Structure 1
Amino acid sequence: MQLIDRAGPDRPQSGRTLDEPTLVARAQDGDVRAFEELARRHQEALFRVAVRVLGQRADAEDALQEALIDAWRRIGTFRGDSAFSTWMYRIVTHRCTALLRRRRRTVPLPEDDAPGAELLAGAGSPERAAEMDAELRALSRAVAGLPDDQRTCWVLRELEGLGYAEIAQITRASETAVRGRIHRARTSLTGRMRAWR
């Protein structure tokens, strides 16, 4: 997945890569290459979140592309109250949520980069691989069936490993609300996956 494909990062004459605060400051001054470098650094994680929230690669690409355009337009509003990555996660998850609201609910099949798909390669026997594939598809359907707010929080916590405070910043919810959403998502997924135990 390559959304940013321009020439390499903006580097000082010494050849060192610029730090993130410097890139943000340059981007805020209108430096497109600095923003492209910021996007390049974060696009893989942002795309992974978009795929896991939306369940479809094409939708995730659209959401990420729209989010990057939106971030470029709004880079001047970034105050540094949170990490740049947190700000970007917020924009991407907002785009994903908006897309989910616009489209009818469908149950997507997991794609190659769906949670756990890399496990199939090392499954051993074909029978075990088929069983794991079926379980991953069931999990993907269960995750897709979660309410949008629960799915977003669960993906950010369980698949991306973000802390509750950062998820609260991203979703603009209280930490207590985030914990509640994740708890409800885990309870729901446990119930839906009971047959696989």
Structure 2
Amino acid sequence: MTNAQVSGRSATGAGSPRAARAAHAPSRATLDEATLVVRAQDGDAGAFEELARRHQETLFRVAVRVLGERADAEDALQEALIDAWRRIGTFRGDAAFSTWMYRIVVNRCTALARRARRTEPLPPDDGPGAPPDDGRRSPERVAEVDAEMAALSRAVASLPEEQRTAWVLRELEGLGYTEISQITGAGETAVRGRIHRARGALAERMRAWR
């Protein structure tokens, strides 16, 4: 995220008293998230860039898992970050900043998925639940695990969009039902139902691997 990419909001001029104080302020990397949010809302593009830096890896991972395509995930994340910068003034702290960002990214992914209507498998290294390679597995076992993970990736990608998003946030990101509800805009009962149906569908599609 560069200053040019968030130029929809401009920081205070370099000659202002605020800029003079900023010259003696602690490094943004050492500031807590709440302080960075306040600064970003005050027009500090650098503060927002630091927030984006802290969260972009997680947000990108979610986008890849929801969309199943790294190029689409990159587009969705870039659009989401620009959107978040433009809307930073609307963040009121009713939920965590990360939850607010998740929601923007998920909304962008949803819009992109609806345009593309893709159900492509996830890239192998981003497959859900892949066990670490400890160097002791036989070539046959490696091939078997790779095939199973590819099958699971295809199964996840084939889920209805709402179920896939809820399942990814719960099973892969470890978020609670309340936070998923805040991110997706669906009630907790609906979220639980989507995850339950996703689990059932995945269990059925992965029956051959059990």
Displacement after TM superposition at 1:115 (Å): 2.0
In structure 1, what is the equivalent of residue 9 of structure 2? Answer: none
What's the TM-score, normalizing by structure 2?
0.85
What's the TM-score, normalizing by structure 1?
0.90
Contact 1:55/1:110 (<8 A) preserved: yes
In structure 2, what is the equivalent of residue 102 of structure 1? Answer: 115
Partners in 1 of 2:193 and 2:178 — Cα distance? 13
Change (3 A) 1:15 1:73: closer
Change (3 A) 1:27 1:18: same
How well do the aligned residues superpose, as a CA RMSD in angstroms?
2.3
In structure 1, what is the equivalent of residue 182 of structure 2? Answer: 169
Displacement after TM superposition at 1:111 (Å): 3.3
Contact 2:64/2:70 (<8 A) preserved: yes
Contact 2:129/2:172 (<8 A) preserved: no
Change (3 A) 1:123 1:177: farther
Counterpart secondary structure, 1:124: coil
Partners in 1 of 2:53 and 2:108 — Cα distance? 19
Counterpart secondary structure, 1:119: coil
Size of the alignment, in residue pairs? 192
In structure 2, what is the equivalent of residue 26 of structure 1? Answer: 39
In structure 1, what is the equivalent of residue 156 of structure 2? Answer: 143
Moved more, 174-183 or 110-119: 110-119
Instruction: Indicate yes or no: 2:170 matched with 1:157.
Output: yes
In structure 1, what is the equivalent of residue 144 of structure 2? Answer: 131
Change (3 A) 1:151 1:48: same
Change (3 A) 1:156 1:109: closer
**Which residue identity lines up with residue 60 of structure 1 in the other structure?**
A
Instruction: Indicate yes or no: 2:195 matched with 1:182.
Output: yes
Counterpart secondary structure, 2:125: coil
1:48 to 58, 61, 69: 61
Change (3 A) 1:55 1:120: farther
Contact 1:42/1:85 (<8 A) preserved: yes
Displacement after TM superposition at 1:11 (Å): 9.0
Partners in 1 of 2:133 and 2:2 — Cα distance? 29
**Which residue identity lines up with residue 38 of structure 2 in the other structure?**
A
- 1:1-51 per-position Cα deviation (integer Å, ceiling 9, x unaligned): xx679xxxx994489711111100000011000000000111111011001
Structure 1 gap ranges (5+): none
**Which residue identity lines up with residue 72 of structure 2 in the other structure?**
D
**Which residue identity lines up with residue 80 of structure 1 in the other structure?**
G
Partners in 2 of 1:196 and 1:79 — Cα distance? 46
In structure 2, what is the equivalent of residue 116 of structure 1? Answer: 129
Contact 1:23/1:38 (<8 A) preserved: yes
1:76 to 89, 92, 105: 89
In structure 1, what is the equivalent of residue 204 of structure 2? Answer: 191
**Which residue identity lines up with residue 124 of structure 1 in the other structure?**
R
- 1:44-100 per-position Cα deviation (integer Å, ceiling 9, x unaligned): 110110010011111111110100000001000101100000000000000001111
Instruction: Indicate yes or no: 2:73 matched with 1:60.
Output: yes
**Which residue identity lines up with residue 137 of structure 1 in the other structure?**
A
